Amino acid sequence: MTTVATTVAEPTRRDFLFIATGAVGAVGVASAIWPFISQMAPDAATVAAGAPVDFDLGPIAEGQIVKLFWRGKLIFVRHRTAEEIKTAENTPLSDLKDPEADSARVQKGHAQWLVVYGNCTHLGCVPLGNEGPYHGWACPCHGSIFDTSGRIRQGPAPTNLPIPPYAFLSDTKIQIG
């Protein structure tokens, strides 16, 4: 009968140097590859441009129109007066070029707040607020007239001012996008 003696080798300095060299090499490769991987992500300006925008309605006085930008597009936020709301609600749809009820253009329970894109639907000009016979918006370039609900009433614009996606976070705060 033969007996085999087994011995367990103790780690040597060479083993330590081999492991340390491998670890340093792995860190070096990772740091060399990282810039190539991170450049594939969109930059901060691109991310911010598409991100939702929170907007505080508290400081907006009744009758005032505020302009802001979301995704590079102009947005009008209008705090409508009770008279403006009543006039917009009582406008017969037959008088409108692009018939749409006022209630379909505002969110339920928040009729005083109108949020629309701020470019004329004719050629993209920026209409002036609180102008024209309907005290809504008037396009100075080609004469399109919008009412206080952003609906086209006169002029060459084919459709109403579009409504961006938005939601009320509270009674005085909205999120666009």
pLDDT tens-digit map of 67-78: 998 888 899 999
> Would the pLDDT of 116 be above 70?
yes
Structure tokens at 86: 């009543």
Identified catalytic residue from 110, 122, 135, 142:
142
Q: How large a percentage of the chain has pLDDT more than 70?
A: 92
pLDDT of residue 46: 67
> Would the pLDDT of 171 be above 80?
yes
pLDDT of residue 1: 64
CB 117 within 8 A of CB 162: yes
Model confidence, pTM: 0.71
Which residues are paired to 138 by β-bridges? 128, 145
Determine whether 142 is an active site residue: yes
> Would the pLDDT of 106 be above 80?
yes
CB 67 within 8 A of CB 74: yes
Q: Report the pLDDT averaged over residues 141-168.
A: 92
pLDDT of residue 35: 86
SS3 at position 104 = helix
CB 49 within 8 A of CB 72: yes
Query: Tens of pLDDT along 32-55?
Result: 988 888 787 777 776 666 678 888
